[in-house]
Amino acid sequence: MLLARENGFCFGVKKAVELTEAAAETGRPVHNLGQVVHNPKISQRLAARGVKIINDPADAAEGIVVIRAHGVPPKVREQIEQRGLECIDATCSLVLRAQRFTKQLADEGYTVILLGTPDHPEVVGLVAYAGDNYRIVETEEQWKKLPKMKRAGVVSQSTQPPWAFTALVAHVATIAQEMKVYNTVCPVTVKRQVAASELAEQVKTIIVVGGKNSANTRELVNLARMQGRDAYHIEDAKELQPSWVRGQERVGLIGGCSTPMDTLIEVKERIEALGSTEPVPA
């Protein structure tokens, strides 16, 4: 079995989890506004410490609200403060940077073109900085339909693949008289994607571990499939099907940026057990 050379939490996820854990230590009611990071194991671990997930600041009567790594629109932060709740901001510094650039483009009069998934929380936060004049695109089919424009400013959701960002920028150069580009693709996810590609070159089957709603994890699955590999996306060892790994000479294993190492190690042990001739525990 081959483990990718990049694994474990990225610094943004690590910070968000640590800030929530530290808040829980205070003994006050602690709320995560949405999943603090897109991983069910982390949510369960925090729930065991009394942390509740809410979807709206109005759902917190008292205590602390932790803003997720993906960030929120400014009005949500205002709502938290207006309700007299303590706000701990766990927005990743790279997402804050993307929010700053998005606002700057809007303030300078550019039509903001955002590469991202429209309902992803990070994108919901980013467009709140984009003023009234913005477009969200996720696929080539969508960006090919963009109209000609005078001034286009391009930014990206952090977990979008760099090749898609490059292709979008190349296309916008053909439809805009003036363009400004801020590359806000997260370098940590790029490194993880490179590691997934390297892994795909060496194996036929790849197991990708991470939240089903984790954009960066799903991107690893896409990449492996684009390289013609059998890629399976699971959240924990229980989901692993023996038929995926039995008889395989080597199986690749990689986790998303919000996948805890202990979950990855459980999956690794399960793959090894399934590959052995010993009886496998249920």
Tell me whether residue 21 is one of the annotated catalytic residues.
Answer: no
Active site residue: 6, 122, 219, 235, which one? 122
| Residue 95 binds ligand SF4, judged by CB under 6 A | yes
For residue 89, count other CB atoms closer than 10 A to its CB: 15
Q: In the set 216, 217, 259, 263, which binds ligand SF4 (CB under 6 A)?
A: 216
Give me the least distance between CB of 187 and ligand SF4, in Å please.
8
Token code pair at residue 65 = 């609200």
Q: Where are the beta strands (DSSP E) in the chain?
A: 2-3, 30-33, 52-54, 64-67, 86-89, 111-115, 134-137, 149-156, 176-181, 205-209, 230-234, 251-255
Residue nearer to ligand SF4 on the CB measure, 92 or 220:
92
21-60 binders of ligand SF4 (CB under 6 A): none
How many residues lie near ligand SF4 (CB under 6 A)? 14
Choosing from 90, 112, 115, 186, the residue that interacts with ligand SF4 (CB under 6 A) is: 186
Distance CA 13, CA 192 (A): 14
DSSP-derived pairing of the beta strands 2-3 and 134-137:
unpaired
- Looking at residues 146 to 175 of the shown chain, list those that interact with ligand SF4 (rule: CB under 6 A): 158
**Main-chain phi, psi angles of 165, to 5 degrees:** -65, -45
Q: Which is nearer to ligand SF4, 120 or 268 (CB)?
A: 120
Active site residues: 122
User: Interface with ligand SF4 by CB under 6 A: which residues?
Assistant: 10-13, 69, 92, 94-95, 158, 186, 188-189, 216, 257
